[in-house]
Structure 1
Amino acid sequence: MRTLISKSFRSLMFAVCLAGGQVMAEEKTYGVELQGFQYPYPLMHYRFVSQGQPMQMAYMDVSPEGKPNGHTVVLMHGKNFCGATWETTIAALSHNGYRVIVPDQIGFCASTKPPHYQYSFQQLATNTFALLQSIDASRVILLGHSTGGMLATRFALMYPKDTEQLLMVNPIGLEDWKALGVPSRTVDQWVERELKVSAQGIRDYEKNVYYVGRWKPEYEKWVDMLAGLNRGPGHKLVALNSALIYDMIFTQPVVYEFSRLTVPTTLMLGDKDTTAIGSDIAPPEVKAKLGHYNELGKQVIKLIPKGALIDFPGFGHAPQIEDPAMFNKVLLDAITRPHR
């Protein structure tokens, strides 16, 4: 009897492992610059040298459909997003006559992952400005999401004459997590965390934090994009750059500088968002104070001299992905609306 059970158990485990192997075989992997993942528009590359290293910055440059309106919009992605995640927004803007430029920042997605780099929002803004100069794009409208909102703020502070207006969608950095009591991580600790990234972990995090407990099948390709990059042949380099970027986000808050913005600014917020860097290791009493976007938006907009606040009630961190048609309608109205 013992032998029969043992054989049955081994057969069952073999079947499970075989099935597991088939599942793993079906999970896609992408190159260190996201090679193999399909972008919605052709990718181009801006090549330059930064901090003594050759770099290439991937970007999409989408021409307006029909009659151009003379305006250019630059879309800045978030930490767990890429230029590709703007696909429906690109289409809506292009359809309405805008030229749309969508870079993947250094360290992210389809761009270079350097083996060492001193990340700062100033450096990324400088890289982006150089890209825009190289393709004859001046005086642009900035639209930044999540971490891209922090970068867009820095860009607008550095290059106000080249910024027609600034729009931010659920930007992080509306509060200073470290000052509120969130423990710091070393880069090595961030690397250790990032090496454990999995598709299920990404899915669970985004469902709970980004999408208010809701999940749609169309979100899966963005999970595949991140998980495939992280499990690919460059996973250690991807993890290192991700760690350095998280350190930049945590240690370089922009909340103290919103009052210095001189360009017309629109803050667009899904009010159920709870994104806060480091909340996973924060003490319960600290975590309870973090990521209340319904309150943060009202506080921050008072700091911005030419600011307007647009709420998306019931939406989370990425309303442009949750309901593209609704978001794009509001966005186009916000861009064309006269500012104070």
Structure 2
Amino acid sequence: MTAFPTVAAFKTTLATLPEADRQARAAAARRQGQLTKPPGSLGRLEDIAIFLAGWQGIERPRIERGRAVIFAGNHGVVARGVSAFPAEVTAQMVANFAAGGAAINALAAAAGLDLSVVPLDLDRPTIDFTTGPAMSVEECLAALSAGAAAVGDADLLVLGEMGIGNTTPAAALAAASFGGAPADWIGPGTGVDAQGLSRKEGAVADGLALHRDHLTSAFEILRRLGGREIAAMAGAVLAARTKGVPVILDGFIGTAAVAPLAMTNPAITDHVLAGHCSAEPGHIRLLDRLGLRPILSLDMRLGEGSGAAVAVQVIRSAIAAHDGMATFAEAGVATA
């Protein structure tokens, strides 16, 4: 799956999700039981290794082609004063990524990840979703397809985003997918004050009211309330599932991209790990609704895939222990 040419193709893919390799999971679990340690003593590291084995289809998983992909898009709703920064910062940060000067450049390198940045029509912000659908059908399909194409031959995928104002559509997506008042999902984002928070709450409320009768499918929620970079992350998650590629989500916006998919098919999160829990207030609530337990909690709120990239170092530790430890038999250690 490298593209979503039609809405029907998107819906069919979401409805027919492949499962993990049960035999590989079982083999990895047996190996964990034979390693020189008390059962369960490495905690979640054991769970992560078994998770990766199931999706990579091998008893001893590897990260040989780990990839971080950052999608960038601009949002018309920024005109409502929902961000502490102007929209032109999106393109400026994309240039910073290209020059190697951003946090994600350093963190991806430390985690041994290839990094690619995909700007999506930065000179054409989405429509302000309080006045109409953020994207046309064709624009949303193009964004979903851009995400799908970015998966490539990765064996582990970290997803990140850059888009000034995008915590506002993320809050709208969460509310449309799982209910609750706008105030339950909004937060300071890049640092808006109390008046900015009020404007965010109003924008989410107005968008939900305008589109209420149409928020009945994952596709319509994404195209009416989302943004290009958010739809691209959703497309990447869905395409990764078809290829059996484990996905590491970053913060609130990346997690919100999955929310409409999970509303339709909760099994979409079976191949996903939450890299961290960000400081954005709605993120922990959204992770809970998705049944995702974050690997890290470091009070990060940058975006860019930064928290997920840091979590990859923990994931590599899980793989190292799973692959490199001796079994009781190999070490000549008694089991009883």
The TM-score range, normalised by the shorter chain, is 0.3 to 0.5
TM-score (norm 1): 0.37
Structure with max Cα Rg:
1
Q: Name the structure with the higher helix share.
A: 2
Q: Name the structure with the higher strand share.
A: 1
Specify which structure has the bigger relative contact order, considering alpha-carbon pairs within 8 angstroms and separated by 6 or more residues.
2
